Amino acid sequence: MRRRLIKERVAKTKKKQDVTPYQGDEINIEEALEIFVRAKEAEGVRPRTIHAYHNHIGYLIDYFTEIKGVQKPFLDDLTSDLIREYITYQLTEKRRYEGEKGRKDKTVGLSPNTVNIRLRTLRTMCRFWYTEGLAAVNAMENVKLVRTDEQPEVPGLSDKQVQTVINSMDEKHYAEWRDKILILLLIDTGMRINEAVSLTLSDINFKDNMIVLSSERTKNRRYRDVPVSLDVIKLLLELNKESQEYFGSTEQIFLNAYGEPFNSDSFRKRLNRLKSELGMERLSPHMFRHTFARDYLLNGGDLFTLQKILDHADIKTTRKYIQMSKDHLRSQHKNYTPARKYLKRKPKM
């Protein structure tokens, strides 16, 4: 009787008459995920996002099997109470990077931001399963995201740090020379790392000193032109020429030691090793983007042009990107404080 009432309630809430009948006790979560993924693929969602969907639900299924002892969880098993228990587990018991090779950090408890990323994915899926008639209720409807303190954006690097990183590269080694040129490209253009590593000769407008990024390659699916310095273009051409001598004809700028396209994950790992060697606390590709944004403004660039270069839909995002160090703040204050003109004036007698 209870099942029939739930079916009737779900049916009454549907605006369409041809929705799939409720089957939460018949469809397991893995099957429900595949239905969701097929719908998103039809909408043109990118493969990287699809990969994230699988990962995020994989963590939930692991919780069902390893913690709750449910080997094949169904949609009916996904309730608001269980999701809240899952949130608490991630925040207090889950070990970071558990099961990942090469990761030494086994801190207990994931960050609220990491948990919220997974919850946003689950919220989208639960809404889809409910509206499609696959689930009797939207299990995430009344579940709130984890409250977080405001976190500073990823900081940029100081001039000294950038110089230290660049000087550590031995240009006699192909991989280190390639990394050095990639870093200079990131600092010169503020490009995202995935945009930079996929760069080809055809993307460079030599006449106008611009890099042309098609909408298929950008995060926000918007075509844009990115200004690039002539000196950096020369380095890119030099790298490509040497790559062709090693590996044969190729349009790709950044290659690995086997002549295959270099990727962002490999670059992150190389920076992580370099960070340890140099005794730095943090070093990531995104920090070069932040360094570009900060220095662009300090050198006299305007915020609206920077927004366009960085491909931000909202200028608030661009503002958040600008993290000034204490040294920068002191320097700017020293140069531009309005009090100076009054302090220099002598009072009239």
CA distances from 165 to 36, 162, 346 (A): 44, 5, 48
Residue 81: count other Cβ atoms within 10 Å of its Cβ: 9
> How is the chain split into domains, by residue range?
2-131, 159-326
CA atoms of 270 and 89, how far apart (whole Å): 32
- According to the CATH classification, is domain 159-326 in 1.10.443.10? yes
| pLDDT for res 337 | 76
Phi, psi for residue 225 in degrees, rounded to 5 = -100, 135
Contacts of 55 (CB under 8 A, 6+ apart): none
| pLDDT for res 95 | 82
| pLDDT tens series, the chain, 349 aa | 333 333 443 444 444 334 445 555 689 999 999 999 999 999 988 888 899 999 999 999 999 999 999 999 999 999 999 999 999 999 999 887 666 655 555 678 998 989 999 999 999 999 999 999 999 999 999 999 998 765 555 678 999 999 999 999 999 999 999 999 999 999 999 999 999 999 999 999 999 999 998 766 656 567 788 999 999 999 999 999 999 998 999 999 999 999 999 999 999 999 999 999 999 999 999 999 999 988 888 888 888 888 888 888 777 777 776 665 566 667 767 777 788 776 666 666 5
Residue 62: both structure tokens together: 């692991």
Contacts of 102 (CB under 8 A, 6+ apart): none
- CA-nearest of 132, 141, 139 to 21 is 132
CA atoms of 266 and 283, how far apart (whole Å): 14
| pLDDT for res 11 | 45
| pLDDT for res 179 | 97
Task: Give the 3-state secondary structure of residue 210.
Answer: strand
Q: Which helix (H) or strand (E) holds 211?
A: strand 210-213
Residue 100: count other Cβ atoms within 10 Å of its Cβ: 8
Answer for the pair 200, 253: CB distance below 8 angstroms, yes or no.
yes
Q: Which helix (H) or strand (E) holds 225?
A: strand 224-227
